[in-house]
Amino acid sequence: MLAVATRMHAKRDAFLRVVAERRALMGILNVTPDSFSDGGKFDTVEAALTQARALVESGADIVDIGAESTRPGHTPISSQEERRRLEPLLARLIAGIDAPFSIDTYKADTARFAMSLGVCVVNDIWGLQKDAAMADAVAEAGAAVVVMHNRDDKDASLDIVADMMRFFDCSLELARRAGILQAHVMLDPGIGFGKTNEQNLRALRATDQLASAYGLPVLIGVSRKSLFGLLLGADVDARLVGTIAANLATAARGARIFRVHDVAEHKGAFAVLDAIDHA
């Protein structure tokens, strides 16, 4: 266990160094039957391994593994079912691919299992607030954590930026009490989660506000989301242009990590942005 923890902490630190030095790409690997974009494509071990390798070869700095769809209207699953989907795969991924891995879960039991195998980042869509044991689980393992803003229901009357800040204040206090180092925390405005279309756009526009207010890396997860279906009238497979546009706009506002399906295309887009920035 000590060897696993040592390797996990090394992967964590390597990823956080990348985030500090340049924009980082988080490749999405959903091992689910019902995710909105790629459900059922990678829910066998061999398909998942092949996709994870492809993501890393395309330029992903970390691979984010999700075993439960959290799309709007999804059917929640138990931590036992989540683990059943992960168990045949996770150890082989970590042993076979030289890259950091994150686990997309809001359940402490699932996070503990994943971290025990070497996953170095917990990507919690409820920002440590859904499962009371999550903050302690992350702290005990010494993992990094993505704290995402979320809401049970949409409320068009809300000042969504003020709501995000209230939420993050609460999450960061939970992290502090558990002993999670501030240097191990990243923030995600939660695009598509409990927000109207207008609030999603406002949250993206506030990327620099969040980065400045907290001094923490901001992660943007907009890949192929319904926001672009509404804006562009585009089906899921035709939303790459909207995704890249939003990610470039938030990169200009200080976002550091981008959770994407299409890694190679974003790597190219950011190479052009970097060339312009450094001209």
141-178 pLDDT tens trace: 999 999 999 999 999 999 999 999 999 999 999 999 99
Is residue 239 a part of any domain in this protein? yes
CATH assignment of the domain containing 211: 3.20.20.20
Ranges of the chain with pLDDT below 70:
1, 34-43, 71-74
Is residue 89 a part of any domain in this protein? yes
What's phi and psi for 267, nearest 5 deg? Answer: -60, -45
Cα dihedral 155, 217, 182, 138 sign: positive
Does residue 163 contact residue 196 with C-beta atoms inside 8 Å? no
Q: How many domains does the chain have?
A: 1
For position 40, what pLDDT does the model report? Answer: 52
Domain range for 12 is 2-274
- Cα-based distances in Å from 76 to 111, 118, 147, 225: 16, 25, 20, 19
For position 74, what pLDDT does the model report? Answer: 64
Is residue 214 a part of any domain in this protein? yes
Q: What is the pLDDT of residues 221-241, one digit of tens each?
A: 999 998 998 899 988 888 999
For position 258, what pLDDT does the model report? Answer: 98
Distance CA 228, CA 236 (A): 9
For position 171, what pLDDT does the model report? Answer: 98
Is residue 9 a part of any domain in this protein? yes
**Catalytic site includes residue 259:** yes
Query: Does residue 159 come out as left (phi exceeding 0), alpha (psi in the -120 to 50 range) or beta?
Result: beta
* Catalytic residue, candidates 11, 225, 253, 256: 225
Does residue 119 contact residue 101 with C-beta atoms inside 8 Å? yes
Mean of pLDDT over the chain: 93
Does residue 143 contact residue 124 with C-beta atoms inside 8 Å? no
Is residue 279 a part of any domain in this protein? no
For position 36, what pLDDT does the model report? Answer: 43
For position 20, what pLDDT does the model report? Answer: 98
CA angle 10, 12, 14 (to 5 degrees): 70
